[in-house]
């Protein structure tokens, strides 16, 4: 199990430059060029690095992020998934709920209502039957494959659009709502 180092100070969180800053003990602070700041838990599973978002710094203090990371490391030591800590901590909306929210947010930038209708119709027809009622944090690559596999051969363009729209909704949930999600989940195929 990783040792807690505590390199970051609460006062410096809002002044650190763009990049990824380690606090030690698997906790990272990611500062994007846009100025957004979010906590990330990085660990290895089967030799592969996995990152879980813990939410933005304005919703979780450094001390709270450290507590959460400690719980996640303990979960790993017990043979459990660290995602379970986050599921217990913050229940989330379903994919369908986030889809509708995301579309409402994006509508202002679209030239006509037809585009919004195409978005919701394709998601309702192809994605919602498989993942519509799933909590956003429970959606993984196998769920996305279940949505796309039936339409890849016969409707390649539609499948490509559905995949892109699912990705946008997952990104929306992760970035705008601070939803903890495995980085593997988006940028899928």
The CATH code of the domain that includes 52 is: 3.30.160.390
Q: Which pLDDT tens digits describe the chain residue by residue (189 residues)? A: 445 667 888 888 888 999 999 998 899 999 999 888 999 999 988 889 889 888 888 888 999 899 999 989 998 888 888 887 776 655 568 899 999 999 998 888 888 888 889 999 999 999 999 999 998 877 888 999 999 999 999 999 999 999 999 999 998 887 766 555 544 444 443
- From 54, 74, 90, give the residue that closes a domain: 90
The secondary structure of 53-66 as a DSSP string is: EEEETTTS-HHHHH
Per the confidence metrics, is the pTM higher than 0.75? no
The CATH code of the domain that includes 134 is: 1.10.150.130
Q: In what order do the strands lie in the sheet with 27-31?
A: 19-24, 27-31, 37-45, 48-56
| 21, part of any domain | yes
For residues 102 and 157, membership in a common domain is answered with yes
Q: What is the pLDDT of residue 80?
A: 85
Determine if residue 38 is left, alpha or beta; phi over 0 gives left, psi from -120 to 50 gives alpha, anything else beta.
beta
Number of domains within the chain: 2
Q: What is the pLDDT of residue 164?
A: 95
- From 73, 90, 107, give the residue that closes a domain: 90
Domain coverage including residue 110: 95-175
| 181, part of any domain | no
């Amino acid at each position: 199990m990783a040792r807690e180092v505590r390199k970051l100070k609460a006062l410096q969180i809002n002044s650190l430059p763009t990049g990824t800053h380690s606090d030690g003990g698997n906790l990272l602070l990611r500062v994007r060029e846009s100025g957004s700041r979010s906590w990330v838990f990085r660990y290895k599973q089967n030799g592969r690095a996995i990152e879980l978002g813990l939410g933005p710094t304005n919703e979780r203090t450094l001390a709270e992020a450290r507590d959460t990371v400690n719980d996640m490391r303990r979960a790993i030591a017990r043979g459990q998934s660290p995602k379970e800590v986050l599921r217990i901590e913050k229940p989330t909306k379903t994919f369908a709920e986030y889809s509708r929210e995301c579309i409402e947010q994006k509508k202002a930038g679209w030239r006509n209502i037809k585009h919004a209708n195409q978005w919701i119709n394709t998601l309702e027809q192809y994605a919602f039957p498989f993942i519509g009622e799933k909590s956003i944090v429970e959606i993984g690559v196998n769920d996305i494959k279940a949505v796309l596999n039936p339409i890849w051969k016969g409707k390649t363009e539609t499948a490509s659009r559905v995949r892109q729209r699912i990705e946008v909704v997952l990104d929306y949930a992760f970035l705008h709502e601070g939803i903890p999600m495995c980085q593997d989940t988006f940028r899928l195929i």
